[in-house]
A and B are shown apart, each in its own frame.
Chain A
Amino acid sequence: MLTDLYTQRALVWAFANRDFATRYRSSVLGWAWSLIQPLATLVVFAAVFSIVFRIEAPPLGNGDGSSYAAFLFTGLVTWNLFSSLLTLSMTQLKSNGELLKKVQFPAWTVILGASLVQLVQVLLELLVLILMFLWLRNVGWTWILAIPILLGTMLFSQGIGLMLSIVNARFGDVMYIVSVVLGALYFLTPVLYPISMLDGQNEWLTLIIKLNPMSWYVQSMHDVMYTLVAPPALVVVALLVGGFLTFWAGFAVFNRWSEDIGEML
């Protein structure tokens, strides 16, 4: 797998360049959109959930009160990384169908190329998050742990994305099923609420949320960025290795199933 990735890096890069160059080419505000969108979501959600539903964020790591907006945005950035890579991957094979039917090249390169561009957007969001915490004076050494956690999130999401994309090429319904499941999963992941709110709640619900891998990624990000507490080393390693294994599995499944991609599309 790694050698495949290495030998095809030029092609992945070429697709990334294409998608990067054309992403906002015909819009006036261009890349600003990649920040306006999540920030608008943040403002609306922060208002609705902290004012209407009165959800309280846990105290900040610097002991200086709490900020629901910062808490929410930490989760949003992590969740967006997951959901955007997933949805983007699924549409890539279809949107590059004409090419895949006419020229022979590894199909996963278009997916990884598109994902690379999406990572630029994630980086922009991260930058805003960091500025936000700097402004709140909520800084800690635990931030470093965000790197392996986000790397794990990215690999995990891409692995699932590769699997789903090839299944979606065969069965067009998968896209719709995924969007329903993603919608539900969003609320089963502690993005909008702190995981501590689950204490004493329905056991089954708690179990589902704890079995959801994304809960672990999001919760760990809350820990290292917001609460400034380092999760157990084992958790961080597990998140990274788990992400890597998911990616490896997704890559293997994709390669196995994509041999007839030219006919499937």
Chain B
Amino acid sequence: MTPTSPLAVDIEGVGKRFIRHTDRRNSIKERIVRGRSRKPEDFWAVRDLSLQIPKGSVYGLIGHNGSGKSTLLKMIGGIYRPTTGSITTDGRVAALIELGAGFHPDMTGRENIGLNGSILGLPRKEIAAVTDEIIEFSGLGDFIDDPVKHYSSGMYVRLGFSVAVHMKPDVLLIDEVLAVGDEEFQRKCFDHLYALRKSGRTIIVVSHGLGQLEGLCDEIAWLERGVMLEHGSAVDTIASYLRRVNADEAARNPMVAAVRDDGEAVRAGDQTIRVGSAEIVDLEGMALSHAETGATFVIRIGISSPAPVLGPNVRVALQHDSGSLVTMVSNHQQGVDFGYVDGDHTVDMALTDNPLLPGRYRVHIDVFDHTGSRLIDSWNDAVEFAVRSQSGEFGQGFVKLSAQITIS
């Protein structure tokens, strides 16, 4: 994107201050009784934010709840006035802040299309021209002539989405309303958004669905406490954002580590070796609160044996939260012979470039003798750990395979 490309939205040093109504003094009585003595608290939802959004681009806004994304979107849509700075938009802006916001429950779907179109500023003739298209897109069929109060919530949002995206806005603002309807309708929505982008419309999306955003957006801005921390290509911004989220989670969450404490319970196996502890650490041996897809991590197991045992096989089974066994890994499988094991030892299993996809996994540990058939000790549900994504890639299933793919 060259700096000279025309802008759809130019945001210059924009700030938005809200007065916090800790107790709402909206009534005249309270104004009179208490006067203006107490200073109202200020709260800056957005501070000194500048952003240039080029025409024909799809721009994403990400950040935690309360980061100012929606406030910014409402300012672009003209619902809020910026306290400082200015926003210049080129063309007609339609905001999808809430689907079907202007629907009247007693009116039919068709009547509501007309009303909503007028509210969004479309001339009557054009509304009439797109009405059939909207009905077709919404898939409501004959229900279009029923009052919308009889609609299911799914039908309601489908109609709301259809109306908004067919109003041919130059700039379309979408706030958390991407995932509506069933799978089929969602695909239709995305196809339509892609078509809109192709026709040169600008789309600004606020969403927490990072996977969706990565596929849809050209660029993304990351807001935190009203300040823009980073903006740039979708992939890079999401990666930075996730790094921060993961780091925050690590700081907040307990480390994944457990010491076995099952008292005098009868254990399976002959107990010539006992598994005593398990934890998740990084390559430097620092305790972790979670693992990340693609980053090597270590499952560290503490074992002890009162007498020497020859060539035992320590096996770790990983079970996904859904109950499926994902895989097993053991030293015999990897061709590692421990020799004689005597006394206390630490077994480190480094899982190179962790192929596990985001999710929660449980660790079961079993120890077998050198033949691999006789059980020595078994510890079910030793620890449970989460795998997080660090890039924004989210897939279905359990593992990410590396593949060499060619086309010929």
Interface status of B334 (Cβ within 8 A of chain A): no
CB atoms of B79 and A14 under 8 A apart = no
CB atoms of B119 and A14 under 8 A apart = yes
In the bound complex, CA of A26 to CA of B149 (Å): 13
Interface status of A172 (Cβ within 8 A of chain B): yes
Which chain A positions have C-beta within 8 A of B79? Answer: 101-104, 262
In the bound complex, CA of A259 to CA of B75 (Å): 12
Return A201 CB to nearest CB of chain B, in Å: 34
Interface status of B118 (Cβ within 8 A of chain A): yes
In the bound complex, CA of A262 to CA of B73 (Å): 13
Residues on A facing B (Cβ under 8 Å): 10-11, 13-15, 17-18, 21-22, 25-26, 98-99, 101-105, 170-174, 177, 259-260, 262-263
**In this complex, what residue of B is CB-closest to A13?**
B118
Which chain B positions have C-beta within 8 A of A25? Answer: 106
Measured as residues with beta carbon below 8 angstroms from the partner, the interface class of chain B is: 20 to 34
In the bound complex, CA of A43 to CA of B141 (Å): 50
Residue among B28, B93, B97, B114 with max Cβ neighbours from chain A (10 Å): B28
Which chain B positions have C-beta within 8 A of A263? Answer: 18, 80
Work out how many contacts link A and B, with CB atoms closer than 8 A: 76
CB atoms of B101 and A99 under 8 A apart = yes
CB atoms of B81 and A11 under 8 A apart = no
CB atoms of B77 and A14 under 8 A apart = no
Interface status of B239 (Cβ within 8 A of chain A): no
Say yes or no: A172-B27 contact (C-beta < 8 A), given A99-B101, A103-B102, A263-B18.
yes
Interface status of B168 (Cβ within 8 A of chain A): no
In the bound complex, CA of A52 to CA of B100 (Å): 55
**In this complex, what residue of B is CB-closest to A170?**
B26
Contact partner of A103 among B26, B97, B114, CB < 8 A?
B97
CB atoms of A18 and B115 under 8 A apart = yes
**In this complex, what residue of A is CB-closest to B18?**
A263
Interface status of B14 (Cβ within 8 A of chain A): no
Interface status of B95 (Cβ within 8 A of chain A): yes
CB atoms of B111 and A104 under 8 A apart = no
Interface status of B123 (Cβ within 8 A of chain A): yes
Interface status of B120 (Cβ within 8 A of chain A): yes
Contact partner of B107 among A21, A174, A260, CB < 8 A?
A21
Say yes or no: A102-B107 contact (C-beta < 8 A), given A14-B114, A173-B29, A260-B81.
no
Residue among A102, A170, A177, A263 with max Cβ neighbours from chain B (10 Å): A102
Residues on B facing A (Cβ under 8 Å): 18, 26-29, 31, 74, 77-81, 93, 95, 97-98, 101-102, 104, 106-107, 111, 114-115, 118-121, 123-124
**In this complex, what residue of B is CB-closest to A96?**
B102
Return B221 CB to nearest CB of chain A, in Å: 22
Contact partner of B102 among A99, A259, A262, CB < 8 A?
A99
Contact partner of B120 among A22, A103, A172, CB < 8 A?
A103
Which chain B positions have C-beta within 8 A of A102? Answer: 79, 95, 97-98, 101-102
In the bound complex, CA of A232 to CA of B115 (Å): 45
Which chain A positions have C-beta within 8 A of B31? Answer: 171
CB atoms of B104 and A98 under 8 A apart = no
In the bound complex, CA of A205 to CA of B95 (Å): 54
Which chain A positions have C-beta within 8 A of B80? Answer: 260, 262-263
Which chain B positions have C-beta within 8 A of A11? Answer: 118-119, 121
CB atoms of B104 and A22 under 8 A apart = yes
Say yes or no: A26-B106 contact (C-beta < 8 A), given A102-B97, A103-B101, A171-B27.
yes
A-B residue pairs, 10 tightest by C-beta: A14-B118, A104-B78, A102-B101, A262-B79, A22-B106, A102-B97, A99-B102, A173-B28, A173-B27, A102-B98
Return B118 CB to nearest CB of chain A, in Å: 4
Which chain A positions have C-beta within 8 A of B119? Answer: 11, 14, 99, 103, 105
